[in-house]
Each structure stands twice: as C-alpha cells, then as structure tokens.
Structure 1
Amino acid sequence: MKNVLAFTGSNSSTSINQKLLDHISNRLNGHEVKRIKLTDFPLPIFSEDIEKNEGIPDNVKQLNQTIKAHDALLVAVNEHNGASSAFFKNTIDWLSRNERNFLEGKKILLFSTSPGARGAKTSLEYTKNIFGRFGGEVIESFSFPSFKDNFQDGKIVNEVLDMGIEDVLTTFAHQIEN
C-alpha cells in the first residue's frame, strides 16, 4: 500500500475540480489517500524581493514536507481564461524556489475539468510539462469535459468518461505499486 497525496490547484470553495478529485480519490482502492487543500497553506504572491528579504515562507516548507512524505500524487488542475490559475502557479513557483526538484520520485495522476467542452486541457498540458521539470513523473492524465453535464449528484453520469477514469486509475494504481 502506497501513501497518496491528493489536492487541487483551485482556491474556490465551490471548486468543480475539488468535487472530481474527491470522487476519483475515493475510487483509488488499495492505497492510503490523504486529501489536503492548498488554501490551508496561504502564500504571498511570489516575489524575488520577498524571497530575498523574508526568505521562503514556512507554509512552503510545510507543503514541501507534506509532498515528500507521500509516494504519489493525485492532482486536479483548474483553468482560468485558458491558463493555470494564478493561485496554483504561485504555489508551484514558491515550491520550486524552495527546492527545484520538489516532485522528485513522485508518480502523478493529473486531471482537470471545466464547465466547457475542452475540460481545462490547456492547464492540464501546461502542468503535465512543468511537473516533469521538477522531477515528477506524470503516469496518467485525464481531461474531463463539460463537468455540469457529465457529473451529477456526486457521480460521473457519462459512461464513456467513467470508463476512462477507471482506466487511468487502474494504470496509475498498478504503476505506483511497482
């Protein structure tokens, strides 16, 4: 059994990515999943001046240690105007300043959703590329389109998307066992 850390890049209290993350993390059988909220680690907007004058914020160090304590990650990324949210990018900026390879040795299942038909694909692709630069290995990624049409009452109602999620979960679970 592996320890898996699950979080979303959203800071919204009504995040659809959080709803999808909760659903997916409940389906990852045979592993211990710990869910956290990045909003529990508040950070200033990254600034070299802050870093120089005040150092790395303690919440960055705490978050980094939390990531290190887990074998794998489930990460849901949101999208604002065709890009990753400023909140999520800021967190990644701080983590990478604290330790360049903060994701080293981590196997990652990355997914995204949005109300639209693209399912936050741009943010998903950006995050997939950037996580590799910090030592992470994205095992699987999945873009979940049209959230409000395909996810209702806490369940995936589109059978094809549900099978797709099951496939990536199965592959991810198998990969983190090795």
Structure 2
Amino acid sequence: MKIVAYGASTSSTSINKALATYTAGLVEDAEVKVLDINDYDVPMFSEDKEKEIGQAEGAQAFLNDLAEADAFVISFAEHNGHYPAAYKNLFDWATRIDRAVFKDKPAVYLGTSPGPTGAKSVLAAAEGSAPYFGGNVKATVSVPAFYDKFDLETGKPKDDALIAELTAAVAKLAE
C-alpha cells in the first residue's frame, strides 16, 4: 500500500505533519510519502487569476502527488476554527483542476492542537465536505493537548491509549 501523508500546515515545526507522519508509519509494509504543502507554490486564488494563468502548476503537482496514493493520512491544522489559509488556497486551486481530489481512496483524517479542542472544528469541516471532493474517510482522530501527548524528539506519542486509537484508525485503511 502506498500512503500519502501530510499536515495541512505551512509551519516548519508542524505538529500536524508530525502526527500524520507517525500515524502513516503505523501501517505495516506501507510505502509512505510525506508531503509538505510548502512545496506547492500557488498564487492567491481568484477567478481573475485563474483566467490570467489557467491552472496553477503547484496545484497540478499536488494532484500528481496525491494520485500516487492508495490511501491518505491527513492531519488538519486549525486556525481560528478553520483550515489554514495556505492549505485552503492550495485545495481550492486543486479542486478547480479536478473536483474529485481524493478519488474515493480511503483516508484517515486527524486534527491536533496544543489546546483542549484538538482541532475538532476543522476536522468536522474536513470530514463533512469530504464526499464533495472524492473523500472516503474511514476514521477520524482528534488529539487535544498535543504537547502533553506526543514527544516531538522521538516522533511518537507518550500515551498508549493514543497509540491504540491511531493504530485502530489506520487499520481501517485496508478494509
């Protein structure tokens, strides 16, 4: 199985990227490709800009990388209860090229934050909109208080219950 994983964040120290990377690595015998959304340069979306340039090359590159996957592990950062602007912008460009971005491939959606809500608002939005974009969400996991539950130095959770929850979530990718 080829898994594409990413954190929907532009932070160079993204806790969502760390969570997605760890979680994708739980799938035995999987080939994991971790994306960095900073690698997909796109201008701010507008219909005027789309008329001017056509398809954004960065969005096409993003879709090409997603096309390599058999499954996805995506962890959504939350900015004021919503997607980070950079991710939403890249996603908007991608959907203008191919609305069925995720091609009905199985996915695990994650969300984490340092605070008590664990990015639940953005996770709910992502899960709720997934069917409109070819999303096939098999499981979702919200991780509140990230720094209390995850050791960034080792790249692993400190909490056995979280490890079990993430393991159970990615097991659903093969169903």
Band of TM-score, shorter chain: over 0.9
Structure 1 residues 139-178: aligned runs within 5 Å: 139-152=138-151, 153=153, 154-172=155-173, 174-175=174-175
- Contact in 1 for aligned 2:7/2:18 (Cα 8 Å): no
2:54 equivalent to 1:55 = yes
Residue equivalent to 2:103: 104
1:44 is paired with a residue whose SS is coil
Unaligned runs of 5+ in 2: none
Instruction: Kindly provide the CA deviation profile for residues 41-92 of structure 1, in whole angstroms up to 9, marking residues without a partner as x.
Output: 1111111101011111111112112212221111110001111111111111
Q: Which residue matches 1:82?
A: 81
1:105 shift after superposition: 2.5
- Give % identity: 32
Cα deviations across residues 123-157 of structure 1 (Å, max 9, x unaligned)?
11111122211111011111011001111242211
State TM-score, norm by structure 1: 0.92
Counterpart Cα distance in 2 of 1:88 and 1:37: 10
Give the whole-Å Cα distance in 1 for the aligned partners of 2:119 and 2:69. 26
Aligned length: 173
Aligned AA for 1:31? Answer: A
Report the alpha carbon displacement of residue 108 of structure 1 after superposing the two structures with TM.
0.8
Q: Does 1:44 align with 2:43?
A: yes
One-letter code aligned to 1:47: S
